[in-house]
Structure 1
């Protein structure tokens, strides 16, 4: 399709050509009027002139179309570059530091660690049936150790909860930054990366929540085990207290010698 300005130019060129043809027809003398060359030797062909104008117009239209195509391709490349641009902000280091702080608090569990082997060893030695074995001094020592384990478990739970609460402010700040980065993303890749980092932040908060619940449940489990062991030890103490032995057995007594 020929653009409006170009179409107007063609119409004007056609009118001008028609006028030139009319003038030439009226005023131009025949070619024989100039037999000896000179100015009269130039023959003007209006049809050829009009065809040349149309050819130039078509060529200009093709050039304009090529320029528009190149502009579209350049814009497409710019859009692709924006879509492939990486997000300038990364919260990975801060999220990893938050997780490491929580892991460190869990690793600092006192007396009985968060390990299957340590738990099995402690229960095999101090809890359950072993709580009622040994002499009185050994049972008292075992009861004191179990009480200390319970107190340490509650202290560890409080420390983990304090660490999780401390991570809330850093998580809030990081969330605000990531949301701003997501809203200001210039391409699909930046938006996707911002979304992935928001999911990572949510996973970190879930890990903190899991750690707090695990520490709290550990303290409650230790306290419940201490109470069960205390009941077992109390029964053993009662049994020993009520054990009167073999009782009185009569024997022969000689008061006087023969």
Structure 2
């Protein structure tokens, strides 16, 4: 019941009381009890205060429900799929590694035959072919590293756009859920950037490792080829020579 309705009820009660007094028989004595009247006024005031408290309580509940609805509203923006696509592109570049890739079993086999245990008794042609294969691996690894770096640089623009959209969505979030979702997606963006950085460092490290292994193997093979070139003959022996014969 609203305050206006209570006022209308009080006015109606006063009107009814007036009609009763007017319709009373002539000579009837109307007794006015101040104490009873004061108690009735106090009770009416208390009832009015209770109604006001109920109205404020309902208003607070309505405000709370509106806030809950805002807090449960999901963020209309998602960058998950674009970030996944960027990670897949980086993985594809890593999977395209030439000759000697990132497979542990393949690395163990290749190093065992071409780098770690070189057959120095093989023919000259075999030694040259093996050296060319190692050099090709090193050059291919540097090319792969450049491709991965180019892919990581290409993802910067997408990351910048995603960060801008997420910051805008976070600042205009209408509730706690939207703000939390924006924060989670920012963390996902950082994870994608870390993945690009990890891939870049891995490709560079692979290229440097293959180059160092190629140089170490070349030194061992070079010593063997020098020994074969020198053969078992005697070296140069100086002799006296005369410019003008007698």
Q: TM-score range by the shorter chain?
A: 0.7 to 0.9
The structure number with the bigger radius of gyration is 1
Residue 109 of structure 2 corresponds to residue 121 of structure 1: yes
The runs of 5 or more residues in structure 2 that have no matched partner are 1-6, 8-23, 234-246
Q: Kindly report the root-mean-square deviation, in angstroms, between the aligned alpha carbons of the 2 structures.
A: 1.9
Q: How many residues end up aligned between the 2 structures? A: 210
Q: 1:52 aligns with which of 40, 48, 51?
A: 40
Residue 211 of structure 2 corresponds to residue 239 of structure 1: no
Deviations 1:212-238 (A, max 9, x none): 111111111111111111111111112
Which has the higher mean CA deviation after the structures are superposed, 72-81 or 171-180?
72-81
Residue 75 of structure 2 corresponds to residue 78 of structure 1: no
Deviation at 1:80, TM superposition (A): 2.3
Residue aligning to 1:111: 99
Partners of 1:42 and 1:134 in 2: CA distance: 141
Deviation at 1:131, TM superposition (A): 5.8
Residue 176 of structure 2 corresponds to residue 207 of structure 1: no
Deviation at 1:107, TM superposition (A): 0.5
Partners of 1:134 and 1:54 in 2: CA distance: 116
Deviation at 1:186, TM superposition (A): 1.7
Residue 50 of structure 2 corresponds to residue 62 of structure 1: yes
Deviation at 1:157, TM superposition (A): 0.5
Q: 1:148 aligns with which of 128, 131, 136?
A: 136
Q: 2:162 aligns with which of 140, 157, 174?
A: 174
Deviation at 1:58, TM superposition (A): 1.6
Residue aligning to 1:161: 149
Deviation at 1:243, TM superposition (A): 3.8
Deviation at 1:242, TM superposition (A): 3.4
The change in CA–CA distance for 1:208 and 1:221 in structure 2 (over 3 A counts) is: same
Partners of 1:171 and 1:46 in 2: CA distance: 83
Q: 2:30 aligns with which of 35, 40, 43?
A: 43
Residue aligning to 2:218: 230
The runs of 5 or more residues in structure 1 that have no matched partner are 1-8, 10-36, 246-258
Does the 8 A contact of 1:128 with 1:228 survive in 2?
Answer: no
Partners of 1:156 and 1:82 in 2: CA distance: 49
The change in CA–CA distance for 1:56 and 1:240 in structure 2 (over 3 A counts) is: same
Q: TM-score under structure 1 normalisation? A: 0.76
Partners of 1:108 and 1:57 in 2: CA distance: 85
Look up the SS of the partner of 1:212 in the other structure.
helix
Look up the SS of the partner of 1:132 in the other structure.
coil
